[in-house]
Amino acid sequence: MKSILIKNGQVIDPARGVNGRYDVAVTNGSITAIGQNLEPGDNHKVIDAAGKIVTPGFIDLHCHLRQPGAEQKETIYSGTRAAARGGFTAVCAMPNTDPAIDDRLSADFIKHTATTEGAVRVLPVGCITRGRRGERLAELGELAEAGVIGFSDDGSSVPSARLLKQAMEYARGLDLPVLEHCEEAGLAEGGQINEGIIATRLGLAGIPAAAEEMIIARDIALASLTGARLHLCHVSTRGGVAIIRQAKAKGVRVTAEVTPHHLTLTEERCLNYDTAAKVNPPLRTPDDVTALIDGINDGTINAIATDHAPHTDNDKCCEFALAPFGISGLETAFGSLMGLVAEGRVELNRIIECLTAAPAGIIGPGHGVTGSLTPGDPADIVILDTAMEWTVDTSQFASRGKNTPLAGEKLTGKVIMTIFGGDIIFRDTE
């Protein structure tokens, strides 16, 4: 069924400044009309969205699908189905797989597997350096030809400023962004959670905020020098937001993302050595959370990305220091973000923008995502119920990673339908 008429929903399409009650017509997989009192054609399936929100499908700038190399944690098959449940119709897959995505062959593998097994669009990110080893540039041009949306050694920063400068110069020539994980390795070494009172209480080594901030500052200096597009991944500290704000005021080509968990949870979630809350960058303080929310509201932070990092129960059921970092985030992203709306801290429209138009803008044209419901666009649509209460039941997750500190929590606001290219790929059955 590629032709659908979605009636009576509140359509929010920040890319075009649309926010009102409209019908959305989809014909043969593409948006054909947005208007009032649209009449269904003969072959249109009609969906009543009265009382619901209709938005462009979400775009995740940052997730880990774990294939190839760690299929027990996630695959492109399972990860894209988790994405669909979370309202995402496009996900950018980070290249820290095994082998890492550092040449054409590996990028082609992702694209091919996504086409044959994926439920949503998968946009590969290529490595900055070969094998993510931080020593020599990866095949950046070849990766660009294979269609990557940018370059990242996510999981770690490029250690050498000189090498990163060269990567930025090269990436600029390809007109692709560098997506940087900001963590000064020496300062963060051995760290398990945010450096501060909770780390002290638990007797764990900390990761200071400065480990993130000094790389943000370094990379901004290099972006300023090279003119490259710099995208900063999962910003987590007040200081980081301040540096980015200043750089944007100076006109540096920098964008930034924040995760739902850094916007909604604090380091206290690690009390009782809960490895589900062990994530990198670590959950920070309430003061950092406030600064991140301010950054969302004033546009310093452009986008919300999940940093979906699935792990098996077995991986996480161990001593805190031995547990891997990561939260399985695709399926709870919208519900957890709605808490911010309920508290009046962020407008719903801004949340939607951060999940649609903003990431599409960072990805740029040529990758098949627009983050909008403009007639002619592929019909990637999500229908949301902002009032629906639900309990996070990880046994229902499509992701193989059940690792979330939100397990068992009540959230208000749920994705109830995801449409990809005119196909209904997820429908809430509760």
CA distance 95 to 390: 33
Of 65-73, 194-202, 237-245, 252-260: span binding another protein (CB under 8 A): 194-202
Asked if 211 is part of the footprint of another protein (rule: CB under 8 A), the reply reads no
Reply yes or no on whether 307 is catalytic.
yes
- 72, 317, 347, 391: which one binds another protein (CB under 8 A): 317
Of 78-86, 100-108, 201-209, 373-381: span binding another protein (CB under 8 A): 201-209
**Which SS3 state, helix, strand or coil, does residue 319 take?**
coil
- 141, 147, 196, 375: which one binds another protein (CB under 8 A): 196
AA letter at 145: E
Asked if 185 is part of the footprint of another protein (rule: CB under 8 A), the reply reads no
Report what 154 binds from Zn ion, another protein, none; CB cut-off 5-8 Å by kind. Answer: Zn ion
- 1, 33, 46, 318: which one binds another protein (CB under 8 A): 318
Measured from the CB atom, the residue of 194 and 336 that comes closer to another protein is 194
CA distance 184 to 230: 17
| Beta strands 381-391; 410-420: pairing state | antiparallel
Q: How many residues of this chain bind another protein (CB under 8 A)?
A: 22
Contact 352, 424 (CB under 8 A): no
Asked if 74 is part of the footprint of Zn ion (rule: CB under 5 A), the reply reads no
Of 81-89, 150-158, 241-249, 257-265: span binding Zn ion (CB under 5 A): 150-158
Asked if 203 is part of the footprint of another protein (rule: CB under 8 A), the reply reads yes
The nearest distance, CB 71 to another protein, in angstroms, is 18
Measured from the CB atom, the residue of 213 and 385 that comes closer to Zn ion is 213
Nearest-10 crossing angle of helices 104-117, 76-85: 60
Contact 305, 359 (CB under 8 A): yes
For residue 368, give both structure tokens.
Answer: 């098949």
Query: What Cα–Cα distance (Å) separates residue 164 from each residue in 53, 102, 128, 217, 257?
Result: 42, 15, 8, 13, 20
Measured from the CB atom, the residue of 46 and 318 that comes closer to another protein is 318
Of 41-49, 108-116, 162-170, 193-201: span binding another protein (CB under 8 A): 193-201
On the 0-12 / 13-18 / 19+ scale of CB atoms within 10 A, 390 is middle
Asked if 13 is part of the footprint of Zn ion (rule: CB under 5 A), the reply reads no
The nearest distance, CB 282 to Zn ion, in angstroms, is 12
Contact 9, 21 (CB under 8 A): yes
Of 175-183, 298-306, 364-372, 410-418: span binding Zn ion (CB under 5 A): 175-183
Report what 204 binds from Zn ion, another protein, none; CB cut-off 5-8 Å by kind. Answer: another protein
Binding mask 69-98 for another protein (x = CB under 8 A): ------------------------------
Which residues in the 249-278 window bind another protein by CB under 8 A? 268, 272-273
AA letter at 242: A
- Angle (CA) 22-26-28 rounded to 5° is 175
Query: What Cα–Cα distance (Å) separates residue 115 from each residue in 62, 84, 109, 120, 165?
Result: 19, 15, 10, 9, 34
Query: What Cα–Cα distance (Å) separates residue 369 from each residue in 69, 123, 362, 383?
Result: 27, 10, 11, 18
Concatenating the DSSP letter of every residue in 276-315 gives GG--SSPP--HHHHHHHHHHHHTTSS-EE---B----HHH
Asked if 401 is part of the footprint of another protein (rule: CB under 8 A), the reply reads no
CA distance 156 to 238: 20
- Angle (CA) 71-56-252 rounded to 5° is 85
Contact 147, 111 (CB under 8 A): yes
Asked if 204 is part of the footprint of another protein (rule: CB under 8 A), the reply reads yes
Asked if 105 is part of the footprint of another protein (rule: CB under 8 A), the reply reads no
On the 0-12 / 13-18 / 19+ scale of CB atoms within 10 A, 374 is middle
Asked if 33 is part of the footprint of another protein (rule: CB under 8 A), the reply reads no
The nearest distance, CB 163 to Zn ion, in angstroms, is 18
Tell me how crowded residue 74 is: count the other CB atoms within 10 A of its CB.
27
- 104, 181, 311, 402: which one binds Zn ion (CB under 5 A): 181
Report what 181 binds from another protein, Zn ion, none; CB cut-off 5-8 Å by kind. Answer: Zn ion
Measured from the CB atom, the residue of 160 and 200 that comes closer to another protein is 200
Point out the catalytic residue in the list 13, 60, 153, 307: 307
Asked if 365 is part of the footprint of another protein (rule: CB under 8 A), the reply reads no
The nearest distance, CB 73 to another protein, in angstroms, is 13
Asked if 154 is part of the footprint of Zn ion (rule: CB under 5 A), the reply reads yes
Binding site for Zn ion (CB under 5 A): 154, 181
Q: Which residues are catalytic?
A: 307
| Chain residues that interact with another protein, rule: CB under 8 A | 195-206, 268, 272-273, 315, 317-322
